[in-house]
Amino acid sequence: MSVLDDLNRLREDARRAFERVPGTRELEQARVRYLGRSGELRAAMARLKELAREEKAQAGRLANTVKGELTEAYETAQARLSADEAPAHARPMPDPTLPGRAQPRGTRHPLTQVIERVVAIFERLGFDVADGPEIEDDFHNFTALNIPEHHPARDDFDTFFVRGGGILRSQTSTVQIHVMQNRPPPLRVVAPGRVYRPDAVDATHFYAFHQIEGLAVDTDITFADLKGTLSLWAREMFGEETGTRFRPSFFPFTEPSAEMDVSCYFCHGRGCRVCKQSGWIELLGCGMVDPNVFEAVGYDAEQYTGFAFGMGIERIAMQSMGINDIRLFFENDLRFLGQF
């Protein structure tokens, strides 16, 4: 191979090497290899002596050009590394014997955990999980639930109305209506979901929160089925010794209606701060489905009876997890969420 060929190959190889060196150590290695005292350029130049005069002059000019180019390429690489990488290389070598960095493992949101526990118990009792839209129409949010035209719940101040029609559902009871419109009895469903009310935000109120709705319909369902089912659920949820009591109440879509309390699962009825010394915790609203609701969805109110219930998830989570501000659930602060 001629000296000219050698010089041209060297020119290419060295230029590419200087362009690609990743660090100062590799740059020095390349410098020694190509431009060093016993490097490839010196070796090629040493062979110039062997050449005839004419060739020697030509190869000598090329050798000088290559030397100039490579010196420049070396300096360019040096400048690039000192600008971009010197700080990184100034740092000490990483110690490969140190233990690795653990990836923090995620947790389920505390509200999701409560919803899953509640739903899992009802699933064992034979309930299906149902879902429905968060933007509702007047029929599903009010009319079918036996909430008449003049009812104050229809007031602007108690419901979010969506521009262009529609309502952000103010309770998960709307899902009852969807389920009954789409399935014939008998049925047993629970429907967890988010609901919206224009409440002023404070430690116990937020404009969005979660409920779980339940519905059972069959030919001979009585209030005893309601009490039995919910009492069994409460014992599974809060412990075998949990007691329940039912106080008369009113909801437009159930008749008769009741509030169910459970014996305080912190003090077991002795009285504490959580139960405000009463020994009982208010937990959910329930009742026998009003015949008007069955009529609204086309069920035969003479043939079928049923019970329904609804509970707020945030309140259960706050009480059972010792959380004192509802806003914490919605701030996505990992310092808070990571505790559960």
CB of 238 to Zn ion, least distance (A): 12
Beta-strand (E) ranges in the chain? 128-129, 135-136, 160-161, 167-168, 187-196, 208-218, 244-251, 254-263, 280-289, 305-312
Paired residues of 213 in beta bridges: 191, 310
Contacts of 262 (CB under 8 A, 6+ apart): 234, 238, 242, 243, 244, 280, 281, 283
Q: Look at strands 128-129 and 187-196 and give their pairing.
A: parallel
Query: Binding residues for Zn ion, how many (CB under 5 A)?
Result: 6
Judge contact between 298 and 177, C-beta under 8 A.
Answer: no
CB of 333 to Zn ion, least distance (A): 28
Judge contact between 289 and 307, C-beta under 8 A.
Answer: yes
CB of 277 to Zn ion, least distance (A): 7
Helix (H, G, I), strand (E, B) or coil at 166: coil
* Nearer residue to Zn ion within complex by CB, 145 or 264: 264
Of 163, 165, 156, nearest to 138 by C-alpha is 165
* Nearer residue to Zn ion within complex by CB, 33 or 235: 235
Tokens of 187: 């049925």
* Nearer residue to Zn ion within complex by CB, 183 or 270: 270
Determine the residue with CB nearest Zn ion. 264
CB of 248 to Zn ion, least distance (A): 23
* Nearer residue to Zn ion within complex by CB, 121 or 272: 272
CA distance 135 to 75: 67
CB of 244 to Zn ion, least distance (A): 15
Binders of Zn ion among residues 155 to 184 (CB under 5 A) are none
CB of 266 to Zn ion, least distance (A): 5
CA distance 192 to 190: 7
* Nearer residue to Zn ion within complex by CB, 95 or 240: 240
Instruction: Provide the mask over 261-290, with x wherever binding to Zn ion is found by CB under 5 A and - wherever it is not.
Output: ---x-xx----x-xx---------------
243 lies in the site for Zn ion, by CB under 5 A: no
CB of 309 to Zn ion, least distance (A): 22
Q: What is the DSSP string of 5-17?
A: HHHHHHHHHHHHH
* Nearer residue to Zn ion within complex by CB, 97 or 324: 324
* Nearer residue to Zn ion within complex by CB, 264 or 313: 264
Footprint of Zn ion (CB under 5 A): 264, 266-267, 272, 274-275
